Amino acid sequence: MININRRSFLAHSVALGIAGFLPTVANASPSMAAKLPTTRSPLSLPPLPYDEGALAPVISARTMSYHYGKHHAGYVANLGKLVAGTGMADQSLEEIILTTAGQPDKAAIFNNAAQAWNHTFYWNSLSPTGGGEPPTELKARMEQSFGSVEACKDALATAATTQFGSGWAWLVEDNGRLAVTNTANADIPLTEGVKPLLTIDVWEHAYYLDSRNRRGDYVKAVLDKLVNWEFAAANLG
């Protein structure tokens, strides 16, 4: 992960159109979530855009209760404790990520802030009515960059299944073209100056209760049945 200064990060954020996107409305339409401004404190847990059981059977309500209710909530709670009484307490998640990226002495703050951001983005990257055909503009961009929608999905599947250990697979927009990348642990494409369009969480707690050690089965099911192409399309520049 590269270390960039505050001005550079904010310039990237404005150019990419992602600063302050985090959803603030319960049960907001996933396709509109990327366009909602943030008025919520970074220390609040955003609501899920659907019920805990809505992604079953691929992702069960039991998994969601732990993943969202324990892991995601834990990152938000930990972040609150870490920044309490500091100048970061009232900053957005993007600003906290900027302030701490690449600084070993602030790794705990960065990890919890980035994981809070990543998880909100992940929930919106999924939909109970997901999968299927991408919207027209996104489909054309996928075909331009990968040759076909299936080739794009294959690249995402490869990134997700070959990520060693915990991490994330991302569909991103980089200089006008779509690309696939993966990050380890809490790392996030924003620090590289590229725009996330959607993500797949491949930490074991995302799938182990439902799929055990079969990460590939989980990834395939997400791409076939849950991936929110409308959310990705809404994030396009």
Q: What is the pLDDT of residue 98?
A: 85
Half-sphere exposure for 125 (CA within 13 Å, toward CB): 21
For residue 71, say whether it is annotated as part of any ligand binding site.
Answer: no
Q: What is the mean pLDDT of each run of 10 residues along the chain (237 residues)?
A: 37 42 34 37 86 98 98 97 94 92 97 98 98 97 98 98 97 96 96 94 96 97 98 94
Q: What is the pLDDT of residue 28?
A: 35
Strand ranges (E), 145-215: 167-174, 177-184, 195-201
For residue 119, say whether it is annotated as part of any ligand binding site.
Answer: yes
Three-class secondary structure of residue 199 per DSSP: strand
For residue 205, say whether it is annotated as part of any ligand binding site.
Answer: yes
CA distance linking residue 31 with residue 149, whole number of Å: 19
Tokens for 6?
Answer: 């505050």
Domains delineated in the chain? 1-21+59-237 (3.55.40.20)
CA distance linking residue 52 with residue 165, whole number of Å: 26
For residue 72, say whether it is annotated as part of any ligand binding site.
Answer: no
Q: How far is CA 148 from CA 74, 79, 102, 175, 216, in A?
A: 39, 40, 36, 19, 21
Q: What is the pLDDT of residue 33?
A: 37
CA distance linking residue 32 with residue 212, whole number of Å: 33
